[in-house]
């Protein structure tokens, strides 16, 4: 009886300790998982934001002017024209430490533009300006970095670096000339101190959660659900932003490459063809020169909306850069794509576009369109570019596909 009584008395203690221990373990595991996920979200958001900033900066660069400055480093007029939009972006995002452009020649990297050289830059930091064609010697092998940007993708360093001013991470994104040729890349160094503060806050909250684990046991499930919902929402938002052109809302080159790869695999496995239309606005520079860049931007937005309203949802509308766009047409051969291209050409030619500062005034655009399908060869973009080149050679405002010219 004594033994049984002692066991009966100790059972609630054993159950309580066991329950407390199991609850604490469950809370600890959950909190650590939550912390890891939050840190991952933090890092993903950081990488995504920096990559997007670099990509946005690259869209501000006129590749043709950049090549002229490379050939004539002392041309201050071209330098001022090119660096101004970068300075505006730098002033808008104070977390940017350095913002610059570079070129790589024979595996050697040179500075071209540096916002630090502009008197319009508003920063309290003591920055060292880089000169045009100043050699940059990285502390690590730049092969992967250069390979990534030359392939048309942004590059974000995997490691932070720290100096007396703070902690930073670098990102790069390529830009192109009017012929779609690689012309260099934008680089930026981003201040991540406030991200590190956020990480420390996460660690502090983990400690509090572990100390008060039993009290937070019921609340934790709700927090995990909120966290996972936030993770998905952030990932969806970041993914959409990463594949979308910020000005027009069309898909960007990154998305274009992934769609072409997917369609190419379908063709190889199941012989399902696809076509590409490369659309270039004729003499678009005249619109910017005559009506201003706001009108030019508005025209690009209207053009994308017009194209999207005229094709099927599965026909992805992509902005390749500048005034050049593309349409990916699944399960379509070139002769069918030619019909659609001609219909789009006529629709665009007949549609009035409005000047921003004079809403009552309108003007018209024409386009040249190059068409190719996957049956002509694996490099379908190159083939469609060749067709586009022929369309321009034949007076513009026409469609060329597989050697067949469709005139206006």
Which is the catalytic residue, given 67, 137, 201, 323? Answer: 323
| CA distance readout (Å), 52 to 87, 121, 242 | 17, 21, 7
In a domain, 35, yes or no: no
The DSSP output letter for 311 is S
* C-alpha–C-alpha distance, residues 161 and 157, integer Å: 10
The answer to whether position 45 is within a domain reads: no
Q: Residue 207: its pLDDT value, please?
A: 67
Counting the structural domains of the chain, the total is: 2
Per-residue pLDDT of the chain (408 residues; tens, 9 = 90+): 433 434 334 444 444 445 455 566 666 776 667 667 666 766 777 778 888 889 999 999 999 999 999 999 999 999 999 999 999 999 988 888 889 999 999 889 999 999 988 888 887 666 678 899 999 888 778 888 899 999 999 998 877 777 666 778 889 999 999 999 999 999 998 887 766 666 666 667 666 666 666 555 545 455 455 555 566 677 778 888 889 999 999 999 999 999 999 999 999 999 999 999 999 999 999 999 888 899 999 999 999 999 999 999 889 999 999 999 999 999 999 889 999 999 999 999 999 998 887 777 889 999 999 999 988 887 888 999 999 999 999 999 999 986 555 544
The pLDDT, as a whole number, for residue 194 is: 60
Coil, strand, or helix at residue 333? coil
Q: Which CATH number goes with the domain that contains 397?
A: 3.30.70.270
- Whole-angstrom distance, CA of residue 343 vs CA of residue 327: 13
Do 164 and 67 fall into the same domain? yes
Strands 316-321 and 324-330: antiparallel
**Number of CB atoms found within 10 A of residue 114's CB:** 24
Shared domain check, 389 and 266: yes
Residues 304, 397, single domain; the answer is yes
- Residue 128 — φ and ψ, nearest 5°? -100, 120
Which residues touch 78 (CB under 8 Å, ≥6 apart)? 65, 68, 69, 72
- Whether residue 200 lies inside any domain: the answer is no
Do 179 and 280 belong together in one domain?
no
Rounded Cα distance, 197 and 39, in Å:
12
Torsion of CA 84, 89, 90, 94, to 10 degrees: 150
- Please tell me whether residues 358 and 281 are part of one structural domain: yes
The answer to whether residue 323 is catalytic is yes
Helix axis angle for 380-393 and 253-270, nearest 10°, is 110
Classify residue 401: in a domain, yes or no: yes
Q: Does 258 lie in the same domain as 182?
A: no
Q: Confirm whether 27 is domain-assigned.
A: no
What is the Cα–Cα distance from 62 to 95, expressed in whole angstroms?
Answer: 24
- Per-residue pLDDT, 4: 40
Q: Give the pLDDT confidence score for residue 308 in this predicted structure.
A: 93
Residues 128 and 270 in one domain: no
Give the integer Cα–Cα distance in Å for 279 and 368. Answer: 6
Q: Helix 293-310 to helix 284-291 angle, to the nearest 10 degrees? A: 140
259 and 402 co-located in one domain: yes
3-state secondary structure of 301: helix
Domain containing residue 172: CATH number:
3.30.450.20
* Alpha-carbon gap, residue 230 to 237, rounded angstroms: 10
Domain boundary among 178, 194, 210: 194
Q: Determine the structural domain holding residue 147 and report its residue range.
A: 55-194
CA-based end-to-end distance of the chain: 106
> Coil, helix or strand for 193?
helix
Under 8 Å between Cβ of 48 and 238: yes
The pLDDT assigned to 104 comes to 92
Residues 185 and 261 in one domain: no
Residues in the chain: 408
Q: Which residues contact 5 (CB under 8 A, 6 or more apart)?
A: none
Q: Specify if 107 maps to a domain.
A: yes
Q: In what order do the strands lie in the sheet with 316-321?
A: 316-321, 324-330, 274-281, 367-373, 399-401, 404-406
pLDDT score for 212: 64
What global pTM score does this model have? 0.46
Under a CB-based contact definition with an 8 Å cutoff, are residues 216 and 209 in contact? Answer: yes
DSSP code string of 287-324: HHHHH-HHHHHHHHHHHHHHHHHHS-TTSEEEEEETTE
Burial (CB < 10 A; 0-12, 13-18, 19+), residue 60, is: middle
157 & 274 share domain: no
In a domain, 20, yes or no: no
């Amino acid at each position: 009886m004594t033994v049984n009584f002692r066991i009966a008395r100790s059972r609630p203690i054993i159950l309580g300790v066991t329950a407390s221990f199991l609850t604490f373990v469950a809370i600890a595991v959950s909190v650590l998982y939550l912390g890891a996920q939050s840190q991952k979200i933090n890092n993903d958001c950081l990488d995504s934001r920096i990559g997007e900033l670099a990509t946005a900066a690259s869209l501000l660069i006129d590749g043709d002017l950049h090549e002229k400055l490379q050939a004539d480093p002392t041309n201050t007029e071209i330098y001022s024209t090119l660096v101004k939009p970068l300075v505006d972006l730098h002033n808008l995002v104070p977390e940017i430490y350095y913002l610059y452009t570079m070129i790589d020649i024979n595996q050697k990297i040179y500075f071209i533009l540096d916002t630090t050289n502009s008197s319009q830059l508003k920063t309290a930091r003591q920055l060292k300006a880089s000169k045009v064609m100043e050699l940059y010697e990285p502390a690590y092998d730049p092969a992967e970095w250069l390979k990534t940007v030359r392939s048309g993708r942004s590059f974000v360093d995997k490691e932070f670096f720290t100096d007396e001013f703070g902690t930073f991470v670098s990102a790069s994104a390529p830009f192109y000339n009017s012929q779609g040729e690689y012309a260099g890349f934008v680089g930026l160094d981003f201040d991540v101190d406030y991200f590190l503060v956020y990480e420390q806050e996460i660690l502090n909250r983990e400690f509090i959660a572990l100390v008060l684990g039993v009290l937070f046991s019921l609340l934790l499930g709700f927090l995990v659900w909120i966290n996972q919902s936030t993770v998905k929402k952030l990932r969806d938002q970041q993914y959409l932003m990463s594949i979308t052109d910020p000005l027009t809302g069309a898909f960007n080159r990154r998305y274009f490459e992934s769609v072409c790869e997917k369609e190419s695999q379908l063709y190889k496995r199941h012989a399902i063809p696809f076509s590409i239309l490369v659309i270039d606005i004729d003499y678009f520079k005249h619109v910017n020169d005559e009506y201003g860049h706001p009108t030019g931007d508005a025209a690009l937005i209207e053009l994308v909306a017009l194209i999207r309203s005229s094709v099927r949802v599965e026909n992805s509308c992509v902005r390749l850069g500048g005034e050049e766009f593309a349409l990916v047409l699944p399960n379509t051969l070139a002769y069918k794509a030619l019909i659609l291209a001609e219909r789009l050409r006529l629709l665009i030619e007949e549609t009035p576009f409005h000047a921003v500062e004079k809403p009552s005034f309108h003007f018209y655009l024409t386009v040249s369109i190059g068409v190719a399908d996957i049956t002509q060869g694996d490099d379908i973009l190159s083939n469609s570019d060749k067709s586009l080149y022929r369309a321009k050679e034949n007076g513009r405002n026409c469609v060329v596909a597989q050697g067949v010219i469709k005139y206006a």
